[in-house]
Structure 1
Amino acid sequence: MNQAQGVQSWRERREAGRAARRRAPRATQDAIGNVARDPVELLRISSERRVAALVPLRYGRMLASPFAFYRGSAIVHAHDLAGTLDSGIHFQICGDCHLANFGGFATPERALVFDLNDFDETSRGPWEWDIKRLAGSLSVAGRHLGHGPLSADECAFEATQSYQRHMAEYAEMSALDLWHERITFARMHDLARTDDGRRRVRRGIARALRRTHGTMLPKLADRTGDGWRIRDAPPAVFHIRGTSSLIDPDDEWMAMTHDRSTLFTALMRDYAASLTPERAALLAQFALQDVAFKVVGVGSVGTRCLVLLLTDHHGKPLFLQLKEASMSVVARYAKAGIRERGITHDGLRVVHGQRLMQAASDPFLGWATGALGRTFYVRQLRDMKISVELETLDKDGLRRYAGLCGWALARAHAKAGGCAPEISAYIGRSERFAEALVRYGRACAQQVEQDYERFRAACRSGELEARTDADMAADFSP
């Protein structure tokens, strides 16, 4: 395709990026947006349609710290960002790009890569929303970990500068080279500047190699005759119609009269149709053994999430996670005209965003529609997946991790949007954008602490009910 057919030259695209500064000057990126709202009311909105008995657990997990609150309140952040200026450069974004939503996982070729790993909120939106979500999370986490405001500022600055440096590199890369770009753990090991950094990478590789379907089987399930049954461990894992179930008797799932085999045969057929033919053929070599409800994460607590245990003809396991997908907070609050086009199934939305943004995605990633019309996406459970243990990071460790996250986000944006020249030109070569994001992170952290206190007061007064995992587990103790 030539320029006359609609492809702008590299120089024209750079000029478009610089022109975007007139719409949203870089210095204005420090604005935190519309904070004239009640975070408790927004949390109530995001808790609608969740399993009612698990909503208090969601709030209990969010009570752990301001950072836990930040993780669980993506809706509040998206609401606020809707009141800020953006550059007008829009494409598929993550939508919940905090530092705990990055990690390591295996590619279909079994190479270990570092990348974004949560796309529940992915949608078309302003790229700035992702880098701001990341900078805000680093500011909140730095304070929560006791590193102090100055160290938190340095982490936000490092993430933004890393994003800036790598976006400038990606602006010079061909489309094919960028599509194949991966941040492998082997590459991270070679680039590590310290012995401690290299040790952390090696430990990460060792941890990932221990997290396979085979090693998970005896930890999560018990043998029953010739088959396997997932072990109940409420409130985290339970069978929907079992004695440990947390599903209300009047819940729509409990009212279904069809047997499990009928329901899941139809659902698995729908899911298999979303896979490529060769992966659907691989899935067909597994038989379903058991299904259980699983409570995951912080922000996702209460959404309908199932673990499926399947085995092949050798009895070797495959664990799949079936997770409900509902409206993205980006789609809810992004301005009209930049919402995702042509995708009405939220499970497909998640899969589309993940495939577009990740360097390599789960070979079993797909989507399906449940018997009652709820939309789901499917992926492997835990296979070679690892995440950073934030509490183990000192100031320098958190700053290095911030830089790694900035790099991964730049790669994801450059691949998903194809707009690296425009974004790089918008940011420029100076520190002006990074300095604005430091100011943003600092203001965001202060707002999060205020919102967290409002949330805590609501839980103390009974306005919201909050329960911990230990509290709920005690309900099932003999």
Structure 2
Amino acid sequence: MSNASHPKYDQHYADGKARRGGCPRASQSEPSLAPERDVVALVESTSQGRVPALVPLRYARMRASPFAFFRGTAMIQAADLAAGPDSGLRLQICGDAHLMNYGFFASPERQLVFDINDFDETHPGPWEWDLKRLAVSLVLAARGRGFDESAAREAALRLAGTYRRRLAGFSQMSQLELWYCRVGFEQLLSEATDEGMRQQLNKVANKARNQTQERLLPKMADLGDGGLRLRDNPPVIFHLDDHDSPLAACDDWLGGDSKAKIQRLLNCYIDTLKEDRRELLQRFRLVDAAFKVVGVGSVGTRCLALLLQDDYDQPLFLQLKEARPSVLEPFTQPCAHGNQGKRVVFGQRLMQATSDLFLGWTQGADDRHFYMRQLRDMKAAPALETFSNAEELASYGQACAWTLARAHAKSGGCAAEIAGYLGQSDKFDQALADYAQAYADQVEKDYALFDAAARSGRLPISQA
């Protein structure tokens, strides 16, 4: 069904086009910077409330490259974007839509879909903030792989063009069509024209298919006299009762009776699930839990890997992840959900084509907020180093732009307005490519300041 000939569609499209008067598309090319911008102080401020002994590991992961630094500093770009142009069209956005926050995972029907897979920063905001973060990450990735600047720009142009064209297509769908629409593995494979990209997709999809709960068990747990126990690998994964762990050195989170407190977190979480899933989860018992460090930007936040088993001792791995306020909140509006974990779950369900069967939220006695989901269940994404040429990387950027356009069309209900603002020419594409290259330059300058602070000893760096 097409909405293109409907009078309401024409009006929405015209409204979006009219927004160019207050925010010309060409104005999106210049990166604005937040006033009184202190990069190192901003990085330090976001370490507040994290496990102190893990902050040096966070900095070490961020120091790996300008791209890694960019991954860990969504708050810097959010502040800069808030100082720049704004089309005025706001909707639920990802908030951290960089290149490595996309990948394959299983739908509840066990079909592989490609989608955004990280929503820690999801919040209402201007749609173009997501697109700008994705485009900058693509340019940084191209530079990190040693591709020349013309190839980086071409990748950004292709990303912008794909988003614009896909968004125009989604704008002509009915709301129900959008709700049911998803980007599946077979769709991506059928549209991949580069053989290298096809090989990449097959490799990542095969990895995802092997990331089942049963296959995860021998990788993460050992069988001892007391039953199954998650395997320690500090500082990445360790038990809360380990007196030599990073947590024990400086943090009493969950205290002595940790298992009982984790069970209370579980009980609270189960109440947020749909009734049938609540019934399913109650057929599992908690066997073990361990602190698990994840990602780059999340290092030092409270995260647990939970091992559960049913009556036949079959495993279920869950992840409990701390949810802090979105980096977008200071520049947009207060969280409306009363729990930051619920904010993450709401944004994820609204933007993803299909979400984890066990996605829910909870809250601790210390008022920390969390969300929960399955751990690694058929989840996989390519690593940057696997992109051997610029064509593969550009094609992957286009896949991310495709699913971002779908997510925005679904979450905002205003695809026609965005399509009207973007138009049919490449004017916005050129502006976005200009922005991505210029802001990537700024990220590299910021990284140099961060690196200097690490070398001077101001920012402690872990050697682990």
TM-score by length of 1: 0.93
Matches for 1:23-422 after TM superposition, within 5 Å: 23-35=22-34, 36-225=36-225, 227-253=227-253, 256-257=255-256, 259-334=257-332, 339=333, 342-393=336-387, 394-422=389-417
Quote the Cα distance in structure 2 between the aligned partners of 1:352 and 1:415.
13
Quote the Cα distance in structure 2 between the aligned partners of 1:322 and 1:463.
31
The answer (yes or no) to whether the contact 2:212–2:377 under 8 Å persists in 1 is yes
The answer (yes or no) to whether the contact 1:96–1:119 under 8 Å persists in 2 is yes
Per the TM alignment, residue 16 of structure 1 is displaced from its structure 2 partner at its CA by 1.1
Q: Which amino acid letter does the alignment assign opposite residue 309 of structure 1?
A: L
Q: Which amino acid letter does the alignment assign opposite residue 295 of structure 1?
A: V
Per the TM alignment, residue 38 of structure 1 is displaced from its structure 2 partner at its CA by 1.2
The answer (yes or no) to whether the contact 1:238–1:244 under 8 Å persists in 2 is no
The answer (yes or no) to whether the contact 1:52–1:248 under 8 Å persists in 2 is no
Q: Which amino acid letter does the alignment assign opposite residue 26 of structure 1?
A: R
Q: Which amino acid letter does the alignment assign opposite residue 147 of structure 1?
A: F
Q: For 2:438, which of 417, 439, 443 is the aligned residue?
A: 443
Question: Match for residue 3 of structure 1?
Answer: none
Question: Match for residue 455 of structure 1?
Answer: 450
Per the TM alignment, residue 201 of structure 1 is displaced from its structure 2 partner at its CA by 2.5
Q: Which amino acid letter does the alignment assign opposite residue 107 of structure 2?
A: T
Per-residue deviation, residues 13-51 of structure 1 (Å, max 9, x unmatched): 111101111121100101212255111111111111000
The answer (yes or no) to whether the contact 2:53–2:250 under 8 Å persists in 1 is no
Quote the Cα distance in structure 2 between the aligned partners of 1:288 and 1:309.
6
Match status 1:16 vs 2:7: no
Quote the Cα distance in structure 1 between the aligned partners of 2:125 and 2:106.
28
Q: Which amino acid letter does the alignment assign opposite residue 110 of structure 1?
A: R
Q: Structure 1: state its 5+ residue gaps.
A: 1-6, 473-478
Quote the Cα distance in structure 2 between the aligned partners of 1:154 and 1:305.
39
Quote the Cα distance in structure 2 between the aligned partners of 1:8 and 1:91.
23
Secondary structure, aligned partner of 1:329:
coil
The answer (yes or no) to whether the contact 1:161–1:434 under 8 Å persists in 2 is yes
Compared CA separation, residues 461 and 341, structure 1 to 2 (3 A):
closer
Per the TM alignment, residue 244 of structure 1 is displaced from its structure 2 partner at its CA by 4.0
Quote the Cα distance in structure 1 between the aligned partners of 2:321 and 2:194.
39
Quote the Cα distance in structure 2 between the aligned partners of 1:230 and 1:466.
27
Structure 1 range deviating more: 39-48 or 359-368: 39-48
Quote the Cα distance in structure 2 between the aligned partners of 1:120 and 1:240.
24
Q: Which amino acid letter does the alignment assign opposite residue 112 of structure 1?
A: L
The answer (yes or no) to whether the contact 1:40–1:455 under 8 Å persists in 2 is yes
Structure 1 range deviating more: 29-38 or 363-372: 29-38
Quote the Cα distance in structure 1 between the aligned partners of 2:11 and 2:207.
46
Per-residue deviation, residues 309-351 of structure 1 (Å, max 9, x unmatched): 00111111111000000110011223xxxx2563121000000
The answer (yes or no) to whether the contact 1:275–1:364 under 8 Å persists in 2 is yes
Per the TM alignment, residue 305 of structure 1 is displaced from its structure 2 partner at its CA by 0.5
Quote the Cα distance in structure 2 between the aligned partners of 1:51 and 1:250.
7
The answer (yes or no) to whether the contact 1:356–1:416 under 8 Å persists in 2 is yes
Quote the Cα distance in structure 1 between the aligned partners of 2:241 and 2:394.
46
Question: Match for residue 464 of structure 1?
Answer: 459
Per the TM alignment, residue 248 of structure 1 is displaced from its structure 2 partner at its CA by 4.3
Structure 1 range deviating more: 135-144 or 198-207: 198-207
Question: Match for residue 421 of structure 2?
Answer: 426
Quote the Cα distance in structure 2 between the aligned partners of 1:276 and 1:67.
38
Structure 1 range deviating more: 266-275 or 183-192: 183-192
Per the TM alignment, residue 187 of structure 1 is displaced from its structure 2 partner at its CA by 1.5
Root-mean-square deviation over aligned CA pairs: 1.5
The answer (yes or no) to whether the contact 1:91–1:417 under 8 Å persists in 2 is yes
Secondary structure, aligned partner of 2:316:
strand
Compared CA separation, residues 340 and 14, structure 1 to 2 (3 A):
farther
Quote the Cα distance in structure 1 between the aligned partners of 2:206 and 2:375.
18
The answer (yes or no) to whether the contact 1:95–1:330 under 8 Å persists in 2 is yes
Quote the Cα distance in structure 2 between the aligned partners of 1:226 and 1:240.
17
The answer (yes or no) to whether the contact 2:188–2:399 under 8 Å persists in 1 is no
Per the TM alignment, residue 380 of structure 1 is displaced from its structure 2 partner at its CA by 0.6
Quote the Cα distance in structure 1 between the aligned partners of 2:336 and 2:56.
35
Compared CA separation, residues 244 and 83, structure 1 to 2 (3 A):
same
Compared CA separation, residues 53 and 261, structure 1 to 2 (3 A):
closer
Per the TM alignment, residue 190 of structure 1 is displaced from its structure 2 partner at its CA by 1.9
Structure 1 range deviating more: 186-195 or 45-54: 186-195
Q: Which amino acid letter does the alignment assign opposite residue 143 of structure 1?
A: R
Question: Match for residue 3 of structure 2?
Answer: none
Per-residue deviation, residues 98-137 of structure 1 (Å, max 9, x unmatched): 0010000000000001000000000001101000000111
The answer (yes or no) to whether the contact 1:124–1:340 under 8 Å persists in 2 is no
Per the TM alignment, residue 198 of structure 1 is displaced from its structure 2 partner at its CA by 2.8
The answer (yes or no) to whether the contact 1:234–1:244 under 8 Å persists in 2 is no
The answer (yes or no) to whether the contact 1:53–1:248 under 8 Å persists in 2 is no
Q: Structure 2: state its 5+ residue gaps.
A: 1-5
Quote the Cα distance in structure 2 between the aligned partners of 1:262 and 1:195.
52
Question: Match for residue 475 of structure 1?
Answer: none
Quote the Cα distance in structure 2 between the aligned partners of 1:47 and 1:80.
19
Quote the Cα distance in structure 2 between the aligned partners of 1:129 and 1:213.
35
Per-residue deviation, residues 268-323 of structure 1 (Å, max 9, x unmatched): 11100110000011101111010100000011100110000001111111110000
Per the TM alignment, residue 156 of structure 1 is displaced from its structure 2 partner at its CA by 1.0
The answer (yes or no) to whether the contact 1:51–1:303 under 8 Å persists in 2 is yes
The answer (yes or no) to whether the contact 1:267–1:369 under 8 Å persists in 2 is yes
The answer (yes or no) to whether the contact 2:105–2:208 under 8 Å persists in 1 is yes
Secondary structure, aligned partner of 2:406:
helix
The answer (yes or no) to whether the contact 2:94–2:347 under 8 Å persists in 1 is yes
Per the TM alignment, residue 250 of structure 1 is displaced from its structure 2 partner at its CA by 4.9
Secondary structure, aligned partner of 2:307:
strand
Secondary structure, aligned partner of 2:19:
helix
Structure 1 range deviating more: 203-212 or 230-239: 203-212
